[in-house]
């Protein structure tokens, strides 16, 4: 992809960035890909745009800043997915103070979706103003301000090439990507566009040769940054669309083509061409499961029934994989048992409406054999929680939860030593159950909380820590759509998924996370689109009147399956992360279904969002002109 003076990015915005390229990232083996392309029976080429979207949590951002002149300390109430990171940035880089002079408090927060990892300028301003004015300062954004100041996501253009042999086996993949960074780099923007998103650039397939070039391009619009999935939806979308186009051009059924190239379970752990190691997974099982659940073989009867009703019906399938974690693979916790009765857990991960406190409390209560009501989870207070990385990238359970499991065991170990002294017995002779230590074979026992009364602080305190590298949740998705011939309106009539997220600790919360991801992924495919006027740079989708978020009646009932049997080998819980599977796998499945519904009109590919007007024009133009324009 060549950048020229006539390219939309041709006007130089920053002299320090020639051709507006702020960064260049390259991975893989260019020479190996060149050689494979020469030897290939088929080389499939496709250009894919991944549309810009805007995170829309339930409430816009707000902040309250306070300053205590006597102590010289600041307090910030804010919406943050990573309060300790926010404290570090604001204290060191903005206020020029020691971190212990700033306390950050995070209360209930209706979602973050990645946009609230790093602090914004308003958080800094309320702290400055509070000190300057000698009084608390409150700021609350309106929804329209959110559209202009909350981090935007996606916005990639990719030129893709896939080389295959005569039997449809993949030989090589080449990608040239333009990633729109906006007017300047956000805290995570360049990382997401380069390394973070492309850790899984080869998807679930055996791709022996791979080469990737990403240009991080500056433009005169809002910066892009983390948004649910953070680069992985872009990587999987372009790959899965490429697989569908390859199936059409080679005449190989899209399911057969995928199955022929999947990494087999027997190959785990599998090292990809990107250098990542997939520790576990059964990709073919997930594909087979979703095909059976969706009644893939019975589709033609549903297509015929739709035709009798004057509708076009199409179907699509996509395989996907995610890579979880974030900046740091480690999390620490402190677990306390108080003499008054009760367990308190201090965790540096951060709830934002996804039910972390419930999951953590259930974990601790189960391991200690105590009522759930006796467990308190403390998050979002940098004074009470010593350190933490925060919550994003679906890291909370497999890193934060693993730390809690370790901390709970450390508490039991510390209490066991105290109980051995109190009961004058060897630790090995003590049994523990339901809050009591008992000497085996006797009636001598002591309650866990009574042991805390002998300590000066009347508390047993234990620390826990876990370090876990990346996990790779994966799955498959089938979508069916119906298209109205008169209006071009597209309706998703069926969405079926099968996801391997490793060990499942709280099924209801996992289902909620999967459903949320499915809704956001399907919405990007058909509805969500952030648009700017090309001449003036004016935001054209700056309110909920212009930016189309989905409603419940835009979707059918989701049919989801959770596949266990391949726990992660990278953490003691076996968890892989559930927050982003839906948003990674859904968009290509939806697009594939619409393209399939329009197959008689010569449609090869459509970029997101696929609006009803676009479909209507294709239908109105007829097959001949549609081939020339799509």
Other CB atoms within 10 Å distance of the CB of residue 121: 8
At the topology level of CATH, where does 62-149 sit?
A: Aldehyde Oxidoreductase; domain 4 (3.30.365)
* 472 pLDDT higher than 80: yes
* 2 pLDDT higher than 80: no
User: What mean pLDDT do residues 211-232 have?
Assistant: 96
User: What mean pLDDT do residues 62-78 have?
Assistant: 98
Share of the chain above pLDDT 90, in %: 93
Say if 289-323+472-630 and 330-467 have the same CATH topology. Answer: yes
Q: What is residue 438's predicted lDDT score, i.e. its pLDDT?
A: 98
Residue 129 pLDDT grade (very low, low, confident, very high; cuts 50, 70, 90): very high
Residue burial 164-175, b: 16+ Cβ < 10 Å; e: rest? beeebbbbbbbb
Query: Strand (E) positions, 474-577?
Result: 474-484, 490-500, 559-562
Kindly report the average pLDDT of the chain as a whole number: 95
For 262-281, the three-class secondary structure string (H helix, E strand, C coil) is ECCHHHCCEECCCCCEECCC
Report the alpha-carbon distance of residue 55 to residue 57 in Å, rounded.
Answer: 6
User: What mean pLDDT do residues 307-318 have?
Assistant: 98
Report the alpha-carbon distance of residue 207 to residue 219 in Å, rounded.
Answer: 33
Where does 1-50+152-262 sit in CATH, by number?
3.30.365.10
Q: Is 31 left (phi over 0), alpha (psi -120 to 50) or beta?
A: alpha
Residue 327 pLDDT grade (very low, low, confident, very high; cuts 50, 70, 90): confident
At the topology level of CATH, where does 330-467 sit?
A: Aldehyde Oxidoreductase; domain 4 (3.30.365)
Report the alpha-carbon distance of residue 436 to residue 414 in Å, rounded.
Answer: 14
Report the alpha-carbon distance of residue 623 to residue 630 in Å, rounded.
Answer: 11
Report the alpha-carbon distance of residue 617 to residue 443 in Å, rounded.
Answer: 82
Residue 524 pLDDT grade (very low, low, confident, very high; cuts 50, 70, 90): very high
Angle at 452 between CA 450 and CA 457, to 5 degrees: 145
* 147 pLDDT higher than 50: yes
Q: Return the minimum-mean-pLDDT range out of 11-20, 31-40, 291-300, 314-323.
A: 11-20
* 420 pLDDT higher than 80: yes
User: What mean pLDDT do residues 269-280 have?
Assistant: 97
Cα 77 from chain centroid (whole Å): 25
Going from N- to C-terminal start, the domains of the chain cover 1-50+152-262, 62-149, 289-323+472-630, 330-467
**DSSP H helical ranges for 74-177:** 83-88, 121-133, 143-149
* 483 pLDDT higher than 50: yes
* 629 pLDDT higher than 50: no
Q: What is residue 10's predicted lDDT score, i.e. its pLDDT?
A: 56
Indicate the pairing of strand 343-347 with strand 375-378: parallel
Q: Domain 289-323+472-630 has what CATH class?
A: alpha beta
Share of the chain above pLDDT 70, in %: 97
Residue 173 pLDDT grade (very low, low, confident, very high; cuts 50, 70, 90): very high
Strand partners, 262: 205
Q: What is residue 12's predicted lDDT score, i.e. its pLDDT?
A: 85
């Amino acid at each position: 992809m060549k950048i020229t003076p006539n390219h939309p990015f041709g006007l130089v915005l920053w002299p320090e960035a020639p051709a507006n390229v702020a960064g260049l990232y390259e991975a893989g083996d260019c020479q190996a890909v060149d050689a494979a392309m020469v030897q290939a029976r088929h080389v499939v080429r496709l250009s894919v745009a991944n549309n810009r979207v805007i995170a829309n949590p339930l409430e816009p951002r707000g902040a309250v800043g306070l300053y205590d002149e006597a102590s010289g300390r600041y307090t910030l109430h804010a919406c943050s997915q990573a309060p300790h990171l926010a404290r570090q940035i604001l204290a060191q880089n903005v206020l020029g103070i020691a971190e212990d002079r700033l306390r950050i408090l995070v209360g209930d927060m209706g979602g973050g979706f990645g946009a609230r990892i790093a602090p914004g300028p308003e958080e800094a301003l309320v702290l400055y103003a509070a000190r300057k004015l000698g009084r608390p300062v409150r700021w609350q954004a309106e929804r329209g301000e959110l559209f202009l100041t909350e981090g935007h996501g996606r916005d990639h253009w990719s030129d893709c090439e896939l080389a295959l042999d005569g039997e449809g086996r993949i030989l090589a993949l080449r990608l040239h990507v333009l990633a729109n960074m906006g007017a300047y780099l956000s805290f995570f923007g360049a990382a997401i566009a380069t390394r973070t998103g492309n850790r899984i650039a080869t998807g679930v397939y055996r791709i022996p040769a791979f080469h990737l070039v990403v240009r991080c391009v500056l433009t005169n619009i809002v910066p892009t940054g983390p948004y649910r999935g953070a680069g992985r939806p872009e990587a999987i979308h372009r790959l899965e669309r490429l697989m569908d186009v390859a199936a059409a051009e080679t005449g190989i059924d899209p399911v057969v083509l995928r199955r022929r190239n999947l990494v087999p379970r027997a190959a785990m752990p599998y090292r990809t061409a990107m250098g990542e190691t997939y520790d576990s997974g059964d990709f073919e099982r997930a594909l087979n499961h979703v095909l059976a659940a969706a009644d893939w073989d019975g589709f033609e009867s549903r297509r015929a029934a739709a035709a009798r009703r004057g509708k076009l019906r199409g179907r699509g399938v996509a395989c996907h994989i995610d890579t979880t974690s974030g900046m740091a693979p480690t999390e620490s916790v402190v677990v306390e048992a108080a003499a008054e009765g009760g367990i308190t857990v201090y965790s540096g991960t951060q709830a934002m409406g996804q039910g972390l406190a419930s999951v953590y409390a259930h974990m601790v209560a189960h391991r200690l054999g105590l009522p759930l009501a006796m467990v308190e989870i403390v998050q979002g207070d940098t004074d009470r929680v010593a350190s933490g990385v925060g919550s994003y990238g679906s890291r909370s359970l497999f890193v934060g939860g693993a730390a809690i499991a370790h901390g709970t065991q450390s508490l039991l170990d510390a209490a066991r030593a105290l109980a051995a002294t109190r009961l004058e017995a060897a630790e090995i002779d003590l049994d523990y159950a339901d809050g009591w230590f008992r000497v085996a074979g006797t009636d001598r026992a002591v309650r866990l909380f009574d042991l805390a009364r002998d300590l000066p602080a009347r508390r047993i305190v234990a620390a826990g820590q876990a370090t876990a590298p990346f996990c790779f949740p994966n799955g498959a998705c089938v979508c069916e759509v119906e298209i109205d011939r008169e209006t071009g309106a597209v309706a998703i009539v069926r969405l079926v998924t099968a996801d391997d997220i490793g060990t499942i600790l709280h099924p209801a919360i996992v289902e909620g996370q999967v459903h949320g991801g499915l809704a956001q992924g399907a919405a990007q495919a058909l509805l969500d689109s952030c648009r700017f006027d090309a001449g003036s740079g004016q935001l054209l989708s700056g309110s909920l009147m212009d930016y189309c978020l989905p409603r419940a009646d835009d979707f059918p009932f989701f049919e989801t399956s959770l596949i266990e049997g391949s726990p992660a080998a990278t953490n003691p819980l076996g968890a892989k992360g559930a927050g982003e599977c839906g948003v990674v796998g859904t968009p290509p499945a939806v697009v594939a279904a619409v393209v399939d519904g329009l197959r008689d009109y010569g449609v090869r590919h459509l970029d997101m969002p696929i609006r009803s007007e676009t479909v209507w024009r294709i239908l109105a133009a007829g097959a001949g002109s549609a081939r020339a324009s799509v």
